[in-house]
Amino acid sequence: MTQMTSILESIDQGGRQAANELLPLVYAELRKLAAAKMSHESPNQTLQPTALVHEAWLRLAGNQSPRFDGRGHFFAAAAEAMRRILIEKARRKSALRHGGDQQRLDIDDLQLAMPGKDDELLAMNDALNKFAVIHPIQAEVVKLRYFVGLTHVETAQALRLSERTVKNHWAHARAWLFREIQSLSRGP
């Protein structure tokens, strides 16, 4: 049994100190995943990978003892927490009181403001929510691959699926999400 598994079991049994032992154990891996996700964000992004990991940890641990059914469940929960944080941030930024769909520009460039990556992230989130209703396991694959940056192998291990199944789910999900996002952008 790995150290992480034993800590997760201790947390499940109500061990309050175990949650404090878990963060140092998984921190480097969570930070690596957050950095991979943040590398796809716009260059003027103010949220840093460290802050994303800390915010996700606060949501995971909260004031109560978290419950995780193994390593895969933990990383799936971390992926979902990171996804929600990024979506909330994108929604806040796209709110009209924060400039709507305008991007920050250098005044010397004299270019018009254009829609940013936040629009893409929100469209992806809307499409993913629809997809999750129809295909919940495939939606988990998308969350781990797209929002956390796990490889096919890591995703397969986290979800206890075969690598081939993950690849098939990923291919199907990408095609479905692409069509859905295209239909959303064209409108009714």
- pLDDT band at residue 96 using 50, 70 and 90 as cut-offs: low
The number of angstroms, rounded, from the C-alpha of 178 to the middle of its chain's C-alpha atoms is 18
pLDDT digit string (tens) for 134-179?
999 999 999 888 877 788 998 998 889 999 999 999 999 999 988 8
The structure's pTM equals: 0.54
Q: Determine the Cα–Cα distance for residues 156 and 141; give it in Å rounded to an integer.
A: 8
**Mean pLDDT score, 53-57:** 81
Contact between 34 and 53 (Cβ < 8 Å): yes
The token pair that represents 177 in the structure block: 């999400």
C-alpha atoms less than 13 angstroms from C-alpha of 25 in its C-beta half-sphere: 15
Interval 4-54: pLDDT, tens: 777 777 766 666 676 677 777 777 778 877 777 666 666 666 677 778 888
Q: Map out the domains of the chain as residue ranges.
A: 3-186
CA angle 22, 45, 109 (to 5 degrees): 170
* Residues across the chain: 188
Block residue for tokens 């949650």: 19
